[in-house]
Structure formats: C-alpha cells, structure tokens
Structure 1
C-alpha cells in the first residue's frame, strides 16, 4: 500500500518535493491560488527549476485569468531558456493565447510555421507520433491527425477574417487528410458565404446522412441547409461528390487549372518547392 504522502500527490496530481515549481503546482491545483502560482512559476523559471513545464503552466494560468497578453509576453521572453523538445508545446499554447487576444494575423503565421515543420519532417522532433494529454489521460497523436488539426485551426482563423476562399481551400485539404463532421460544417459554411450553394449543400447533406456524425454537427448542418434554401430556393439536387476524381491533394491543388490561379498562393508560403520535397 502506498504511503499517505504518495497518495496525496496522486489524488491532487501534484509533484512531490519543495521546489518553487512544486509549490506553484500546489497553489494552482490544491489551494486554487492562481496569482500565487504565477509568481512561483516565474520564480521556478528564473531559478532553472523545471523550466519547460513552469513556463507552459504559467502561460496557461495567465490565459485562464484573462491575462493572455502577459502570457504571450512571458513565452516570448522565456522560451529561449526551454529545451528544443518544449518548443512545439509552447507554440500550441501561444496559438491559444493569440486566439484569446484576437491576434489573428500572428495566429495564422504561427499555424503556417507549424505546417512548414510538418512538411519538412521537423514536427514531433522527427517522430511519427507524439504523446498528448487531455483531462489527465494520455494518448498518441499521429502526424496525419496533427496536420488536420492545424489546418482546421488555420481555416477557422481565415473565417474570422472573413476570407472564405482561403478557409475553403484549407478545410478541403484538412478533410482529405483526416475528415470530421465539424470541419465539414465549416467547409459548407465557407462555400455558402461564397455563393457556392450546390457544393455547400452536397457537403452538408453528407453530414446529415452520416451515421457517425455527432448531434451537434448534424444540427448545425441542418441549420445551414435551411439558410441555403432561403438564399437559393429551388436549387437543383445533385449527388455529385466534391472530391470525386482527386486521388490526392497534390493532384488536386497542384494540377488543377481551375483552382491553381485563385487558390495556390494561400499555400505557396507553407509548401516547399515540389521539385525539392515530396508531399
């Protein structure tokens, strides 16, 4: 049977010891004192005590306390003290902070930077998967899943700028890599906003007809379909698949004469030259 002290740390999910970082986690998770925790996280960073975790945790607490701008400043100031392995994780926190502050341009640039790393094989520190944590549980994330997740965030950022053409192409690529109903809804919304009612309806009906789509996605798809009926009543029905005939994203985005002039520039900044690096 584990000693009581060990059980205490397991129950409260705090590390053992008496260092600034350990005391900060205790204030954060047990005493619910975010201000005190932030002070001790900073002390831990300055003293070299678990700097990677201390900086990330401090930035997360700052976001929770509506001090996201301070969190951005903290990461930009102290990330040079962190290990190479911690940089991707810090970027993920930074993206959330940019989103919280409405700093869309910085969010977009950082998301593009993360995509570049994937294309060049530098993501996950060169490994095919990484271990992630959510609600206290660990799970494996593949490069494919991470790429789709980042593209989904990039599409959402473009939507906030009302750049629906850019968002459309991003969501199309995300769906080819790792489709999910939520991204399909966003793709349908972008198509609707551009007046592409036939394509939008095909995307949205695929969601409502799906047995695996969640209730929230189906409800949103139905709402968008009603909006299409209002905007374009009597639209001719079609069962044509939007991606029919496209075996891969390369064939679609790089070889399509119709799409290339209008949409390729969105990815020219994040895709390596085709002659140098294969997708």
Structure 2
C-alpha cells in the first residue's frame, strides 16, 4: 500500500506538468505571451482571433496603461499598416515613442521607415536613415554593442554593425533612386559596396550609372554579377535583373535627362556627406573599426 501511495504521489506532478505543457504549447504555437493584461489580450486578438481592429483598441489600452509599451506601440503600428492606416501609424509612433525605452528606439525607427516607404514619404525616409547612420558612426547603435539579436519569420539571428550599416546604406541609396537622384544614389551604393558587396546592390548601382549614360562603368559593375563574383549572384531574381540590365546596355539608348552634379541639390548633398563624415569620423574618435577601412567620400568623388 505504501508503494502504491508513493506511485500516486509521483504521478500527480506529471499530470500537472502535462497540463502546463499544453498551455505552454498554445502560447508557443500562437506566439501569444503569458498573462492577462491588455497587451496579452491584444496579441490574442491579433494572432488567435484574427481581429486586427480589436487588437488595435487593446494595444491602445496597453499603451495608456503602461503595459509593455515598447512592444504594444510597435505591434500596433504593424497592424495599422496591414489595414492601410499608415498615416495613423506614423503619428502614433511619433507621438508615443517618448514613452518607450532607449532600447526600443531602433526598432521603432525601422517600423517608421517601412511606413514612410509604403505611403511614399521618401524625404522623411531619407531623414531617418541618415540619423541611423549618424548613430552608427558615433558608436551609439545597438546600445554600443557590436551585434544585436534580430528576428525574422520566427527565427532569431545575430546582426553585426557591419551588416546593419550595409543594409541602411542600401535603403538610403534606394530612396534616392525613387527621387531619380541617381548621382546621390550612386555615391551611397558605392559606399555600401565597400562595406559588404552583394549582387543586388551592384545591379542597382549599374542602373544608376546607366541613367547617367556611363555605360562602360555600368558594364564593369554588371560583369561581376554575371560572372558570379558577388554574394547573391545566383539568386534567380537578381540573375533576371542582371540580364535585363545587360540587354539595356546592349541597346545603348540615347542619354536620358537627369539632374547633373552641378545642380544645387547635388552640391548640397555632397557637402552634407562631407560634413557628416567630419562629424562621424573626427581625428582620434571612438568610431567603430569598420569605418577605418572606408575611404572618405571626397576621394570617391575625385576618382
């Protein structure tokens, strides 16, 4: 009898553990955090009930109640974007990011950039990207750490400052392309390629050169992609893009009209880059080692 009683006592925690495991499994599958506050209810409405409107209301309640404000503001903006309430999401971030921690500001900037991109506010997108670059050059990105943990499609991975710099420069150059400012885009793409060259950015740089009727330079850039010398050269979409550019170079259409370097906007842009470089990389600064390997913009423009 004593042995039977002992077995029963041993089996009881197992049942409790199984119930706990089921509850944990629900949260893992649906990616809903534990708890019963407004933020948890908002995530339940968003991910389980698939009710984005109710989720937004609950995210607002979470922000007002001070319940996981960092995540609530970011998640609410993402849901608003999905509902084409982009302008409202932008205003929400700008109004309430002051309630968020210092660690959350980088993520909020990334959401803000996506929102600006979706609604075509290119100038604001450029402004935020430049600010992020300033923080990197001053060693203030990632809270002073060399890497940060990022998440994509439910998986965590480490991002280095080098990778982040290349990504931001690529986004900045792309924004300039949207404004048909191909000279500015070219300068930024070249800097991005110095840090972490890849085939996609090379194709975009080639496009910038074609738009300036600099066909020989464009062909040299494109050859590296077609010969598989750059990371991502064998990606099907990049390969298709490279073939399109190759055919475009073969035709050599008459030079299109584009703003020249002598225009006021371009002169201001180059001057700004020089000033930013002075701020980012003063003598004996504590700038990150990756930037010691990059030549000044003045040397690039002189080549």
Q: What TM-score does the superposition give when structure 1 sets the normalisation length?
A: 0.86
CA contact (8 A) 1:115 1:270 kept: no
Q: How far 1:26 sits from its partner (Å)?
A: 0.6
Give the number of the structure whose residues are more often helix, by fraction.
2
Tell me: CA distance 1:90–1:275, structure 2 relative to 1, closer, same or farther (3 Å). Answer: closer
Say which of 241, 244, 263 aligns to 1:220.
241
Distance in 2 between the 1:269 and 1:57 partners? 36
Distance in 2 between the 1:270 and 1:95 partners? 21
1:272 matched to which residue of 2? 278
Q: How far 1:262 sits from its partner (Å)?
A: 9.4
Map 1:2-151 to 2 at 5 A. 2-151=20-169
Which is higher, the Rg of structure 1 or of structure 2?
2
Q: How far 1:266 sits from its partner (Å)?
A: 4.9
Gaps of 5+ in 2: 1-17, 255-266, 292-303
Tell me: CA distance 1:16–1:85, structure 2 relative to 1, closer, same or farther (3 Å). Answer: same
Say which of 148, 153, 159 aligns to 2:171.
153
Q: How far 1:3 sits from its partner (Å)?
A: 2.5
Distance in 1 between the 2:119 and 2:164 partners? 23
Gaps of 5+ in 1: 234-260
Q: What TM-score does the superposition give when structure 2 sets the normalisation length?
A: 0.80
Map 1:240-251 to 2 at 5 A. none
CA contact (8 A) 1:155 1:170 kept: yes
Q: How far 1:264 sits from its partner (Å)?
A: 3.6
